[in-house]
């Protein structure tokens, strides 16, 4: 089993990504509102923190919030199908500032019901 995490800066693509999840067989996912460190520094209480000029210019035009999607996938094959589906949705987007994906292997999953099944 694997956990797939996607930090998505192009939040307008979220619905299409979730639709593609269903099409490839993903049974569920969790979507969180999130904010990167740079966005937090630029738009939060740390505005006084000095940043390099080019980084500040880049961050001034960036959106301060993104979405973090995570899901538990049963096989490496499903991971590859899901990653490819996300890439298909985002293929026409500029790769700069798009976001990123990564997986983490999972040892065990525990359900929250009385019979401990997920």
**Domain containing residue 101: CATH number:** 3.30.70.120
User: For residue 92, what are the domain limits?
Assistant: 2-34+66-105
Read off the tokens for 77: 């094959």
Residue 19, domain member (yes or no)? yes
How many C-beta neighbours within 10 Å does residue 111 have?
Answer: 9
* pTM more than 0.85: no
Between CA 13 and CA 22 the distance in angstroms is 15
Read off the tokens for 117: 């099944």
Over residues 32-58, the pLDDT tens digits come to 998 887 666 665 555 555 555 555 555
Residue 55, domain member (yes or no)? no
* Number of domains forming the structure of the chain: 1
Over residues 77-117, the pLDDT tens digits come to 999 999 999 999 999 887 777 889 999 999 998 888 776 56
């Amino acid at each position: 089993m694997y956990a797939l995490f996607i930090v998505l800066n192009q939040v307008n693509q979220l619905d299409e990504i979730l639709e593609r999840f269903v099409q490839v067989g993903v049974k569920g996912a969790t979507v969180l509102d999130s904010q990167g460190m740079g966005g937090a520094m630029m738009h939060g209480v740390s505005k006084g923190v000095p940043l390099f000029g080019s980084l500040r210019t880049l961050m001034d035009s960036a959106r301060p919030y993104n979405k973090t999607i995570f899901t538990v996938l049963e096989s490496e094959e499903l991971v590859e199908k899901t990653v490819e589906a996300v890439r298909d949705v985002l293929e026409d987007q500029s790769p700069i500032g798009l976001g990123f994906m990564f997986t983490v292997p999972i040892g065990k999953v525990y359900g929250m019901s009385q019979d401990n099944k997920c």
